Amino acid sequence: MKIYKSNEGVIKVCFGKMIPTETISGHAFEVCEDQELRGGFLLEQSELKWTFSLDKEDVVYGLGQNMRGMNKRGSIYESFCSDDPNHTPDKKSLYGAHNFFVVQGAKTWGVYLDFAGRIKYDLGFTSPDTSQVSVEGQDVDLYFFEGTFSGIVRQFRKLIGQSYVPPKWAFGYQQSRWSYEDQDKVREVAESFDRHDLPCDAIFLDIDYMENFKDFTISEKRFPDFKAFVDEMKAIDIKLVPIIDAGVKIEPGYDVYEEGIKNDFFVTDKQGKPFVAAVWPGKVHFPDFLNKDARNWFGNFYHQFLEMGIEGFWNDMNEPAIFYSEQGIKEAIAFVKAQEGLNLDIYTFFELKDNILKLSNAEKDYKSMYHIMQTETGEKKLNHYDVHNLYGYNMTRAAAEGFTRYDDHRRYLLLTRASHIGMAKHSGIWTGDNHAWWEHLKLNVHMMPALNMAGFLYAGADTGGFGGDASGELLVRWMQFSLFTPLLRNHAAMGTRVQEPWQFGQHTTEVLRNMMRMRYAFIPYLYSEYMKANLNYEMLFAPLSYVYGDTMSKSVEDQLLFGESMMLAPVMEQNAKGRYVYLPEKMAMWRIESFESLDVLPFTLMEPGHHHVDVPTHEFVTFLLPGKLVPLAKPANRVSKIDTTDLTVIGYVPEKATYTYFDDDGVTNAYQKGVFIETHFEVLKKETSYSISVDTNDHKLRNVTFYLIDDSGKCHVIKQGVPIESMQLV
């Protein structure tokens, strides 16, 4: 064990020589031998076990994409990317491996475990006051942080680097289904959005756009002139987002397969032959994304879609998902045949069933795959099981690096299913194959802060649920939360109820239209807060205790801080027409039905404490923090049509309120060089008036309408042109 310390006070503890994950680089650490460590470490057989105590009031936040509540205390979790669509409370791992958590208590501290394989977390489950972390290996680096909750998150996020930023259009509404099978169906969906006057910026293409599910192919029958169709959609300002899967079909004459074989770019078995598994195309090989040359090769295939005008992709099945392996199916069939004619006892029947059910994503298959990774000392052969959590990360890295080689100035939408910390600088994620369950709306709320902690700012769930049949009420309530998440995508599985916004009757369509238009009204605030959270290593979504230190705030599991100015309290219960809300300080409740409902001044000043608020289905409530402002724009049906020269600014102003609004071209990476629009609003409350200043480098800003709630609860509406940099209202 070796111990190091950075200038910022981060402690690094190294056991053995870890397999490089490349999540942290370029940070200086010096030897620090006398550092006292938290808890005790034990090297036992092939595992490292770390045990530490939890005080009675400690709360545990983090672990990214995982089950159960925001507070992870009292349960067992695993870090091992898993293709499991049934996200029930007993599951221990999902699609991501995000090994960072913070313990908030009398002394607040955090830890990141830099490791590519399986980790198990017993966070006060076996013993309420004791936690144990078990690493399946003895080569791991741990990074320890101390300070405030927010300070620890900033330290960690600085270590892993700035997060991915998509193009601005990707903050618009996105529609998907498995599958819109051909261009006629896609065209019909696009036209339906305009016919129903509903906003939409993108339509996703699932696996049926391909020729026999082969990566980087297009079905000529379903899309006879794909480039022309891309241009047709772009003419109405709709982006198409095709899916790319990890498995490459074994088919002589197929260029991706042929080139992969020729250059030894596929994961191998123990004998060095390309490993054979089966996914959607049938039998496949998996590209060896840990091999830099294979990454470059695969990443370049995206260019042919970019040449046709595609501006976004989603990478899927990249845990990697395995329906069955060639060896696994042989063994299962042999076992089944061996039972033929026998009088099975009940235990043999269960074994028979398990032999089939456990073919998918089998651990023994992962242990039968091998990679070649370039290291500082040369090429190294690695068993896939030991680096499993890096696979989807490096597939998406291959795509992102391919985009940079194609055009290093332009941003593209990139989503992935499997993920690992460090990948957050390359792409966003969606939370995988959820269900149309109210419990999964809650899970979406619980996941967002933990994902932000791990660096994944561009994230969201399949709104309405991927599996199962959504009700109109569930879709409305889910939309009322998702309209704040950076990724807003409605996605549903084959065989489920269609869940486009117009499929639930006229009344529900009208309610959803109002909600979706509010999303576009909020984009100035959402985009501004997103960019500031990225540049300043902050959280976009946070538990109340991120800011508030009272005991009650630590126990709240169904409210979130959203940016610097707002608190969200979504309704997440079927048939509920209201909910309880805890306010840690005096706030202004904003009851939202539509953007136009601003004119009826739907604000109520509420004292700190516990409240029950009525929230009928066609409305939702948010809360404005004192001294902060929220910029809005008039709704539009495309992000490109949002007019940010005419803003509406809302705020609760007891005495003074400020807000710095960030914007940029939404297309390029110029913001990284400091090229952006910055507008600073300041509102001072006087006895009978307001003093308002607007300082901006945006010479196009024309008008600002203010809705200002004072400390008596009265809302003052002030409309003002902005021909000058500063204005005084008396």
Q: Mind listing the pLDDT tens digit for each residue in 98-149?
A: 999 999 999 999 999 999 999 999 999 999 999 999 999 999 999 999 999 9
Q: Which are the contacts of 532, defined by CB distance < 8 A and separation ≥ 6?
A: 538, 564, 660, 662
* Domain end among 135, 160, 185: 160
Mean pLDDT, range 38-51, rounded to an integer: 93
Strands, sheet with 282-285, edge to edge from the N-terminal-most edge strand: 248-249, 282-285, 277-279, 324-325
Domain containing 593 equals: 527-728
Examine the fold and report which residue of 160, 177, 199 is the final residue of a domain before the chain moves on: 160
Residue 308 lies in a domain: no
Q: Is the pLDDT of residue 35 over 90?
A: no
Q: Which residues lie across from 122 on neighbouring strands?
A: 76, 132
If one counts every other C-beta atom within 10 angstroms of the C-beta of residue 134, the result is: 17
Count of CB atoms within 10 A of residue 583's CB?
20
Average pLDDT over residues 291-312: 98
- Encode pLDDT of 58-106 as tens digits: 999 999 999 999 999 999 999 999 999 999 999 999 999 999 999 999 9
SS (H, E, C) 331-355: HHHHHHHHCCCCCCCHHHHHHHHHH
Mean pLDDT of 390-416: 98
Answer yes or no: is 624 within a domain: yes
- Is residue 31 within 8 Å of 41, Cβ to Cβ? no
pLDDT beyond 90 at 413: yes
Q: How many CA atoms lie within 13 A of 615 on its CB side?
A: 27
726 versus 304: the higher-pLDDT residue is 304
For residue 597, give the nearest of 515, 506, 505 by alpha carbon: 515
Q: Are 557 and 588 in contact (CB under 8 A)?
A: no
Average pLDDT rounded to a whole number, residues 691-720? 91
Residue 357 lies in a domain: no
* Distant-in-sequence, close-in-space partners of 46: CB < 8 Å, separation ≥ 6: 136, 137, 138
Determine the Cα–Cα distance for residues 510 and 295; give it in Å rounded to an integer: 46
Per-residue pLDDT reduced to its tens digit, 592-633:
999 999 999 999 999 999 999 999 999 999 999 999 999 999
Q: What is the DSSP letter of 664?
A: -
| C-alpha span between 213 and 222 (Å, rounded) | 13
Closest CA to 424 of 455, 449, 389: 455
- Whether 725 has a pLDDT exceeding 70, the answer reads no
Return d(Cα 40, Cα 35) in angstroms, integer.
13
Rounded-to-integer distance, Cα 165 and Cα 169, Å: 11
Classify residue 627: in a domain, yes or no. yes
Contact 203, 174 (CB under 8 A): yes
Q: Phi and psi (nearest 5°) for 399?
A: -65, -50
Averaged pLDDT, 428-445: 98
pLDDT of residue 376: 77
Q: Report residue 452 as tokens.
A: 């932000």
Mean pLDDT of 567-592: 98
Task: Give CA–CA dist 580/583, Å, rounded.
Answer: 10
Q: Residue 409's CB: how many other CB atoms inside 10 A?
A: 9
What integer is the mean pLDDT of 314-334? 96
Chain segment 513-551, per-residue pLDDT in tens:
999 999 999 999 999 999 999 999 999 999 999 999 999
Residue 723 has pLDDT above 60, yes or no: no
pLDDT at 726 over 60: no
The single residue listed with the structure tokens 């808890």 is 39
d(CA 268, CA 440) in angstroms, rounded, equals 37
pLDDT computed for residue 621 by the predictor? 98
Q: What confidence score (pLDDT) does residue 687 get?
A: 83
Among 160, 180, 209, residue at a domain's last position: 160
Tell me the C-alpha distance between 30 and 24, whole Å: 16
- Amino acid identity of 171? F
Neighbour count for residue 528 (Cβ, 10 Å): 24
Is 633 a member of any domain?
A: yes
The band of 651, judged by pLDDT with boundaries at 50, 70 and 90, is very high
Task: Name the residue among 621, 624, 602 with its Cα closest to residue 613.
Answer: 621
Please, which pLDDT band fits residue 728 given cuts at 50, 70 and 90? Answer: very low
Rounded to an integer, what distance in angstroms lies between the CA atom of residue 620 and that of residue 275?
51
Q: Is 77 helix (H, G, I), strand (E, B) or coil?
A: strand
- Check pLDDT > 90 for residue 377: no
Above 80 in pLDDT, residue 727?
no
The CATH number covering residue 95 comes to 2.60.40.1760
| CB of 30 closer than 8 Å to CB of 54 | no
Residue 722 is predicted with a pLDDT of 58
State residue 724's pLDDT score. Answer: 40
Q: What is the mean pLDDT of the chain?
A: 95
Q: Are 321 and 277 in contact (CB under 8 A)?
A: no
The answer as to whether 328 is a domain residue is no
Q: For 176-211, how does the pLDDT look when each residue is reduced to its tens digit (9 = 90+)?
A: 999 999 999 999 999 999 999 999 999 999 999 999
pLDDT band at residue 25, thresholds of 50, 70 and 90?
A: confident
The answer to whether residue 12 sits within a structural domain is: yes
**Which residue type sits at 81?**
C
Q: Domains in the chain: how many in total?
A: 2
Q: Does residue 729 surpass a pLDDT of 70? A: no
Domain assignment of residue 719, yes or no? yes
Q: CATH number, domain at 559?
A: 2.60.40.4040
User: Shortest CA distance to 605 belongs to which of 594, 589, 617, 620?
Assistant: 589
pLDDT digits (tens, 9 = 90+) for 254-284: 999 999 999 999 999 999 999 999 999 999 9
Q: What is the mean pLDDT of residues 665-673?
A: 96
